Every structure is written in structure tokens, then in C-alpha cells.
Amino acid sequence: MIKKILRWLILGGTLFFLATALKNNWQEISAIHIDAAGWAIIAIATGVTLLAHTWAGWIWTWILKDLNQSVQSSLFIYVYLKTNIAKYLPGNVWHYYGRIMAAKNANISTSAATLSVLLEPLLMAAAALIIVLLGGFVVTINTSTTVRVVQIIGLVLVLCAIHPRFLNPLIRLLHRLKTKKSDTATSNVNLGMKNYPLQPLLGELGFLGLRSSGFILTLYALSPLNWSQIPVLLGAFSFAWLLGLVVPGAPGGLGVFETTAIALLQNYFPVAVVISATGVYRLISIVAETSGAVLASLDERFFE
């Protein structure tokens, strides 16, 4: 009951913030014009976002291979793309469920399939935190030594947190919370990583880099940018995306990402431009994810 109330409060709060921001800046938003070059940039941003999801699917195969599973990369990338759109369904877990079922059908052990979908968001979150910390370090390079030391310590803590010694207990805890069936075989299995997940972590950094690039291109289609603003955009996007990933009651980060991005960037860019960019980028993300699912289904049938 409390969980449902919390979800409704989060949804209501984000919608109220977005509606208020839209109402207060509607005149400026309606004045924004996208020319032919801007539409071309938006098309590129859509392609980059689709590439990011395809890349994420490939990283998933790396995780499975690290768990000593034999996988056909193209097949599992197709599965990833086809299930990705399910994250917008209520509950925000159906894309994970679909991947576990597909992995089991491909003779992947239940424990490895479950562990892979638990590891992926954890590594994504770690990658987002690294980018936020590094972006903050670049932006505040001329600030006090204390601030830089705190950022470095934060970065070290994130890197240590995904060490198997600390990561494995967290994985088992998340698995118990998801299954809530301590007497089943899958909940008793000894889930965990043997080696430091360096390659998947680097891959997730690339994923966040591609997603950030799609957002930056979207903003560039609406307003001029300069290179000095890139670190701010990388950090703000990564933090907003991270909150959209971890906050409950926000399928696909819907509402949470937009609210956070507007709050973080409104002091650096015109509010109307930020609101428009977040709205357009949400549409770009949905189009890219839908296109990925359709293309994966068509391509899989063509090669069957």
C-alpha cells in the first residue's frame, strides 16, 4: 500500500512540476522554430539513440559471457531490442522478465539469466555516477581543493562498490526482493560475479555517452551550444537518467528524467529550450526504442 502511494506521489509531483513549467513558459516554447537543419540533427539524434540501445544489447551478451554462458550475440541483441519497449509498462520490470524468459529458452541457466538482468542496471547506475562525478570535476576544476577531493573520493567509492566483494551481497539482496520466494531453487542459487566487471562497465560508459550525445544533439537542434557546455550537459543528463532508472513508479524514467533535467539545466539554458529539448528527446527515445523492436523482429524473421 505504501509503495503504491509513493508511486502516485512521485507521478503526481513530476506531472505537476512539468505542467507548471510548461504553463509558465508556453509563450517562449511556442516561439521555438526547428528549421531543416534542426530536423536533420534530430534524425541523427534518433539514430544515435537507437545505436545506444543496440550497444546496450551487446553489453548484455558480454555480461552473460562473463557468467560462462554460451550466447549468440545477434540473437540476444534482438531479444534486448524487442523487450526494451516493455519498460514503459506499469511495474517497470517486464523488459527484464522478457529477457530472462528468452535466455531460458536459449538454454541459459535461470540463475545466470537472472543475474545478468540484475547486473545490467547496477552497472548502468555505476557508469552514470562516474560520468556525473567526472563531469562535476571538469566543471569545478577551478574550485576549492576540498570539492575536488570529495569528488575523487566519490569516484573511488563507486568503483569499489562494483567489486565482487561488495556487489555480490547486493545482487543477492535484489534477487530476494524480486522473487520473494526464499524456498525456490532460483532464490537459493549462489548468485555472484567472480571477476571485476571492467569490460561491461566500460561498455555502459559508452552507452551513457551515446545517450548523452543524443540529448545534446536534440538540444543543439533547438539552440546553439558551445564546447564549454558539454561537461554540464553530460553530467546533468547522466544524473537525470540515473534518477529515472532508480526512482520507483516511473516506467522508463517517464517524468522523473524530464523534471530532473529541467531543474538541473534551467540555470544554464533558457527554460523554454530545456523543456522543449526534454520533450523532444522523450519522443526520440520512444521512436528509437520502437524502431529497434520492429527492426529486430523483421531482421530475425528474415534470417530464420
Could you tell me the sign of the dihedral formed by the alpha carbons of 262, 89, 102, 178, in that order?
positive
What b-and-e string marks burial along 12-34, b requiring 16 or more CB atoms within 10 Å of the CB?
A: eebeebbeebeeebeeebeebee
Tally of residues, the chain: 304
The residue ranges of every structural domain in the chain are 35-125+197-302
pLDDT at 200 over 70: yes
Contact residues for 45 (Cβ-Cβ < 8 A; gap 6+): 213, 214, 215, 217, 218, 221, 281, 284
Q: CA–CA separation, 198 vs 63, rounded Å?
A: 10
Contact residues for 220 (Cβ-Cβ < 8 A; gap 6+): 41
pLDDT at 288 over 90: yes
The residue written with cell numbers 539514430 in the block is 47
pLDDT at 279 over 60: yes
Taking only Cα atoms into account, the Rg of the chain, rounded to an integer number of angstroms, comes to: 20
Cα distances (Å, whole numbers) of residue 274 to 9, 208, 237, 238, 292:
24, 19, 11, 15, 26
What is the CB-side half-sphere exposure of residue 199 using CA atoms within 13 A?
A: 12
Average pLDDT over residues 287-294: 92
Average pLDDT over residues 59-83: 90
Q: How confident is the model at residue 237 (pLDDT cuts 50, 70, 90)?
A: very high
Q: Which of 10-19, 31-40, 106-115, 221-230 has the highest mean pLDDT?
A: 221-230
Q: CA–CA separation, 135 vs 2, rounded Å?
A: 36
- Give pLDDT tens digits for 129-167: 888 887 665 554 444 566 567 667 877 887 888 888 887
Average pLDDT, whole number, for the chain? 81
Q: CA–CA separation, 182 vs 176, rounded Å?
A: 7
